[in-house]
Amino acid sequence: MLKGKTPLIIALCLGLVGALLAYKTIKQTEDRFTKDWALVPIVVASQDIDEGSQLDFNMVARMQSPTQFVTGSIVKPDQIERVVGQTVMAPLRRGDPILWSHFYSEGTVERMSRIVRERGRAISLDFSGSNGLAGWLRPGDHVDILGTFTDPKDDQIASVTLLQNVVVLATGAISGATNVDVLRKQDRGYKSVTLMVLPEEAEILTLAAELGSLRLTLRNESDMATMEKRNRATLHTLMTGERMKTIWKLREKLPDVIYLTPKGTQ
């Protein structure tokens, strides 16, 4: 009965042997390439995720990946809490590694020139520590710029408000397109601030930065008022209380600013 089927059986056996040899060769090649690979855990999508979805713990899973292929752009398991609750800015498929770029722009694509209005200019100045509001400043905030200089007429140190109601374009490398919530705390700091000004104001700030020190004060986002008459504080006005008399009258007219608890505090 098997006589006529012998060639077929032989062919099947040879095919099986060939497949086993091919598998062994592939496995040996794979083992040779991967024998020194160390595996580390990464976060991947556990399901298909649509653009605009809010990421939650049920949408992610832990997977091992060779160290050679794991860069700082990939989210690690101990970092998952920083992206859970964030809006996904690109569609993901099951098994895709979760990247930081899925949640915020690092500024590599964005061009600052696109958000500078016509006739406006972007200028970056050094504002670190308390001069830059101790790290509380964010793109879109409105600030006043104060300068402290030595008056050549009488060698007195004077402080004056240079510009009012200036819009912040960026703090360090953080722009308005950056999702600050997913950044590590140490990455939220800045030593420079980029401001939107007129060309004439850029000239004033450039000279002022060379002659003295600059400091920022933060405004409420809805406060657009400006001082029509600009005074200055000097050592004389501090010691004599000359300006304080006027300022106390102003405080009495604005009790909400001085005495009420700021919103969001207890």
The reply to whether 207 and 126 lie within a common domain is yes
CA-to-CA dists, residue 219 to 129, 162, 254, angstroms: 18, 15, 15
Angstrom distance (rounded) from CA 252 to CA 266: 24
The reply to whether 192 and 247 lie within a common domain is no
Mean pLDDT of 19-26: 71
- Measure the N-to-C terminal CA separation of the chain; round to a whole number of Å: 94
Which residue from 87, 244, 255 is spatially nearest to 179, judged by alpha carbons? 87
CA angle 73, 77, 82 (to 5 degrees): 70
- Contact of 96 with 60, CB cutoff 8 Å: no
Per-residue pLDDT, 108: 43
Is 71 within a domain?
A: yes
Is 6 within a domain?
A: no
Is 220 within a domain?
A: yes
Mean pLDDT of 59-88: 86
- Contact of 165 with 144, CB cutoff 8 Å: yes
CA-to-CA dists, residue 207 to 121, 127, 210, angstroms: 16, 16, 5
Domain that holds residue 198: 112-228
Per-residue pLDDT, 133: 84
And the tokens for 174? 């953080």
The reply to whether 77 and 182 lie within a common domain is no
Is residue 266's pLDDT more than 70?
Answer: no
143, β-bridge pairs: 166, 218
Is 176 within a domain?
A: yes
Q: Using one digit for the tens of pLDDT, what is the confidence trace for 217-243?
A: 999 878 888 776 767 787 777 777 777
- Contact of 170 with 139, CB cutoff 8 Å: yes
Is 19 within a domain?
A: no
Q: Provide the 3-class DSSP secondary structure of residue 139.
A: coil
- Contact of 104 with 178, CB cutoff 8 Å: yes
The reply to whether 211 and 117 lie within a common domain is yes
The reply to whether 139 and 199 lie within a common domain is yes
The reply to whether 98 and 134 lie within a common domain is no
DSSP secondary structure letters along 203-264: HHHHHHHHHSEEEEEEPPTT-----SS--EEEHHHHHH-HHHHHHHHHHHH-HHHHHSPPTT
The reply to whether 153 and 235 lie within a common domain is no
Mean pLDDT of 46-59: 91
Looking at residue 167, the DSSP 8-state letter turns out to be E
pLDDT tier for residue 36 given thresholds of 50, 70 and 90? low
The reply to whether 76 and 170 lie within a common domain is no
**Number of domains making up the chain:** 3
The reply to whether 49 and 72 lie within a common domain is yes
Q: Using one digit for the tens of pLDDT, what is the confidence trace for 109-145?
A: 457 787 788 889 999 999 887 878 888 888 889 999 9
The reply to whether 132 and 213 lie within a common domain is yes
